[in-house]
A and B are shown apart, each in its own frame.
Chain A
Amino acid sequence: MVLCIGNKSILTITNDPHIVKRYYFSEQIETIVLKLPPIIYTKTAGDTGEIVDNDGEDSSKSPNQMNQEKRHFVFGQLSQSEKYLAICDNFKNLIVYCTKEWKVLASFVIERKCDHVIFNEKEGKLIVSNRSGWIYGYQLVASELKDDENGETFLLGHNAIILDLKLSLDSRYLASCDRDEKIRISNYPNCYNIESYCLGHTQFVSCLAFINEQLLISGSGDGTLRVWQFTQGKELSAYSFANDISAKDEKVAPLAIHSSSINDQIIVTVTFYNSSIFVTYKFDTKSNCLEKITSTDVKHNILYSYTFNNQLVCFIDDKNNFVSCQEFKIVNEKLEILKIDFKIMETLAMDDQLVETFLNEKRTANKIEWLYKSSHDHHNEYFERKKERQETKMVKKIKSS
């Protein structure tokens, strides 16, 4: 089962049979039986020199072996306007639907499982990152293609797993961050031209958010949120969040950063892996620093969060009540956070199987312990032996003289 969340509706896609259920916030529910294009069998990863991590993924499976597998969906993403839905199946077929008449707009076979899929501003292109740290662009409108193109363009590659991917507000830059502490700012769509690197984090960079046309905020396993003048790769401020979420022994890293402007104030809300607390900050445009306004505890670990219209929706690790919604308001120059209820969420929550599948999936996906790097030094031995060798030589010299 795949859950896709948009500003107007939430989609669930079940596998057997392939049915999309669309729950509008206006409380209308739509059911669609998906017509799937035939399976295109996968290319073999590694042919292009791509970095393949050894997670034992099925790149070696023959079409015959795969034939016996049932087709199921592993990933889904709605476009901003919700006009399009991109879904990826276990055969690494990436299919894009028009959500109006549920026609297939385009379909591609991708090399590796995708981690992040984003639509560009005009929703004519898809940007897809895969498990190997490579990012590809896909052209959705076939009429804009030249004859020799299949719609796929290699955009860029990281040397480590990509943890977040965001397009700048003006779509001129693509920001990508990885396990190797790096944030890369590439020109878009000419991503081969790196605009800058934002370097300063000392652990994996888990999420990114553009706040305006100059500034980017990043969150990392090193316990900080940093603000960047991103085209220069210049760090403007670093904020240590550990005290805001009363982190116990557990490793806590930012899950998502949401930035919105309310009454000319930039409000930044951050949710965290392994934490039930989200923290709301005010971004001070003079000092470029974050100032904490408040921490809010939703009682169960937050697994997924998103914002729209100054509302924050958190999916939390609680079977009985897995969605928590809050509204942000500024009253008398003070920020107020009000809990709100969406009927549609209650309807969603009643589907036990959906809740169970979703929670399990997110719990697994949100394991971050392995992202932390520990340093180990196995070269001391060599240098000790060298020292010994040199000392013996000295002794010999002294003896012989």
Chain B
Amino acid sequence: MATKVIDPPQKRFYRQRAHTNPIADHCFDYPIRPDLMKWNELYPNYDQNGEQVEYLDVGCGYGGLLVTLASVYPDKLSLGMEIRVKVCDYVQDRIKSLRSESPGKYDQIACIRSNAMKYLPNYFHKGQLSKLFFMFPDPHFKKTKHKWRIISKPLLADYAYVLKVGGIVYFGTDVEELYNWMDSHFNEHPLFKQLTEDEISSDAIYSKLFDCTEEGQKVTRAGGKKFLAAYKRVEDPYSR
């Protein structure tokens, strides 16, 4: 039986202002704990006892990186988290359309609307993730809004908690000040260590990170600067 191909979504219906207050009480649907997450509603052929979600794109925007992850890592489950309703809906419609167009090729990517600052431990077990992406996060320029930044002193502990030892966190931006902020936070955290040049050159996704995201393409078109780094989750150096 031929399935009907769904038209790709048109961005003009999904535009939404870039900033969201991540602290406020929003209406979110989230599992009380990771065991209760119904992943099979997101991924066709999801096997409860098989592969778990391992790659997470926090603030996935219009889903460019997710789509790339599907082709670079066809046997890994990737999830995009986006806080903006319409943008998340766009990605979900985009994935629907891609799945109908090329059956089987996009079954391992999905997008949910959630607040990564609050709910990561509700979705993921300790050490479940092996890659975590923060591409073009909201710079929240004003000093009073720095608390809304996705990279901050307290939140790094949560990222270290969901990442397995050896897992990698990637972050990129076109704002130098934000890059320095993010880089110094990871640098100071005992559970993260910067990737070496060798590790970066053997990494399959690192070099693709700017070209695959919509924000990255925008920066390229405008001829702007891009800053990118990757850190590895390491064992706790603390000993009693």
Contacts and interface: CB of A to CB of B under 8 A. Distances in A.
Question: Do A and B come from the same complex?
Answer: yes
B153 A190 contact: no
B32 A192 contact: no
B157 A386 contact: no
Nearest to B239: A190
A158 interface: yes
Contact of B238 (A182, A190, A383): A190
A389 B85 CA distance: 17
A13 B122 CA distance: 43
Nearest to A186: B157
A237 interface: no
Contacts of A233: 126
B238 A49 contact: no
B152 interface: yes
B102 interface: no
Contact of A48 (B122, B153, B158, B190): B153
A43 to B, nearest CB: 14
A110 to B, nearest CB: 16
A320 interface: no
Interface string A153-197: 010111110000000000000000000111000110011111011
A140 to B, nearest CB: 20
B13 A389 contact: yes
Contact of A49 (B33, B118, B153, B236): B153
Interface in A186-242: 186-187, 190-194, 196-197, 199-200, 202, 233
B191 A193 contact: yes
Interface stretch (A80-88, A293-301, A373-381): A373-381
Interface residues of A, number: 42
A202 B154 CA distance: 23
Contact of A190 (B25, B32, B146, B190): B190
Interface residues of B, number: 34
Nearest to B140: A49
A50 B189 contact: no
A386 B89 contact: yes
B32 A200 contact: yes
B153 A157 contact: yes
Contact of B154 (A158, A180, A378, A386): A158
Interface string B20-45: 00010101000011000000000000
A46 interface: yes
A51 B152 CA distance: 10
A271 B86 CA distance: 45
A133 B173 CA distance: 28
B86 A382 contact: yes
A180 B118 contact: yes
Main secondary structure of the interface of A (DSSP, over half): loop
A129 to B, nearest CB: 12
Contacts of A389: 13
B226 interface: no
Contact of B27 (A46, A50, A200, A376): A376
A119 interface: no
Nearest to A196: B126
B13 A386 contact: yes
A47 B143 contact: yes
A266 interface: no
B156 interface: yes
A193 B32 contact: no
A192 B27 contact: no
B158 A200 contact: no
B160 A193 contact: yes
Given A199-B122, A376-B27, A378-B27, A46 B160 contact: no
B161 interface: yes
B59 to A, nearest CB: 16
B117 interface: yes
B97 to A, nearest CB: 13
A53 B25 CA distance: 12
Interface string A319-362: 00000000000000000000000000000000000000000000
A182 B121 contact: yes
Interface in B146-185: 146-147, 149, 152-158, 160-161, 181
B3 interface: no
B236 A190 contact: yes
A75 interface: no
A180 B152 CA distance: 19
A51 B121 contact: no
Interface string A107-138: 00000000000000000000000000110000
Interface of A: 46-53, 133-134, 154, 156-160, 180-182, 186-187, 190-194, 196-197, 199-200, 202, 233, 373, 375-379, 382-383, 386, 389
The 3 closest A-B pairs by CB, nearest first: A157-B154, A49-B146, A190-B238
23 contacts: A46-B143, A51-B23, A133-B154, A154-B153, A157-B153, A159-B118, A160-B118, A181-B32, A186-B157, A190-B236, A192-B160, A192-B189, A193-B157, A193-B238, A197-B161, A199-B33, A200-B33, A202-B32, A378-B27, A379-B27, A382-B89, A386-B13, A389-B13
Given A194-B158, A199-B121, 14 more contacts: A49-B147, A49-B152, A51-B23, A157-B152, A157-B155, A180-B118, A187-B236, A190-B190, A190-B238, A193-B191, A200-B33, A376-B27, A382-B89, A386-B13
